[in-house]
Amino acid sequence: MTTARPSLRERRRTETTALIARAALDLALESGWDAVTVDEIAARAGLSRRTFFNYFATKDEALLHNAVPWDEDLLDAFRASTGPLLGALEELFTAQSASGRHDRDRTLQVMRLVEATPELLPALLARIAASESVLAEAIVARDGLDEFSAAACAAVAGSLARVGGMGWLSGRQPDPVTSTRAAWTALRALLP
């Protein structure tokens, strides 16, 4: 799956989103998540409170924004792809893992923070559910499956993404792409 170069506006939005997320994580590591405020995150990022809310509805969203994100260009390419659904999903997840959007150290820091701050778990689970919902909608658009079947496919693919991610984060796999491919290979071993 190839993607077009993002516009200047899209690049700036991506950069500002990452800046806010970095500020949220840095402050959480310094002070503990409960002590962090939206105003502090905005100030650390060099932005106004209003600008913060143009990007995120809550401080939890800012911290977890990179958890299960979708690259819209990759989703568009998935919707336009042909061939078996399983192969198209594998290609989508492999391309997503190759996008370079995942920073191992940051991801591990966020995971540790979620483990230490149970109040963040519902927000993370909501992000996962939203991501799987977006994928299910893309599957319906691509393959015309009913909503239940598409949701089941999205949940399986999401589980493989989590297993692949954990393989990389734990060091059992050398990089996100190799880990993603290993997870999909394991699934294929179950199929006739």
Residue 149 belongs to what domain range?
A: 66-192
Longest dimension (CA), the chain: 56
Burial class of residue 121 (count of CB atoms within 10 Å of its CB; 0-12, 13-18, 19+): exposed
pLDDT of residue 23: 97
- Cβ-based neighbours of 177, under 8 Å, separated by 6 or more: 94, 97, 98
* d(C-alpha 130, C-alpha 64), whole Å: 13
Residue 76 and residue 171 in one domain: yes
Number of domains the chain is built from: 2
Residue 135 shares a structural domain with residue 41: no
C-alpha–C-alpha distance, residues 174 and 44, integer Å: 33
Is the sign of the CA dihedral 13, 14, 19, 21 positive or negative?
A: positive
How far apart, in whole angstroms, are the C-alpha atoms of residue 74 and residue 77? Answer: 5
In this structure, are 124 and 180 located in the same domain? yes
| The predicted structure's pLDDT at residue 13 | 87
CB 138 within 8 A of CB 75: yes
Residues 70 and 57 in one domain: no
- For residues 88 and 34, state if they share a domain: no
For residues 133 and 54, membership in a common domain is answered with no
- Listed residues 46, 62, 78: the one ending a domain: 62
Q: Do 82 and 100 have their domain in common?
A: yes
CATH of the domain at 98: 1.10.357
Please tell me the pTM assigned to this model.
Answer: 0.85
With a cut of 50, which residues of the chain have pLDDT below it? Answer: 1, 3
Express each pLDDT in 43-92 by its tens digit. 999 999 999 999 999 999 999 987 767 888 899 999 999 999 999 999 99
pLDDT of residue 185: 96
Same domain, 44 and 70: no
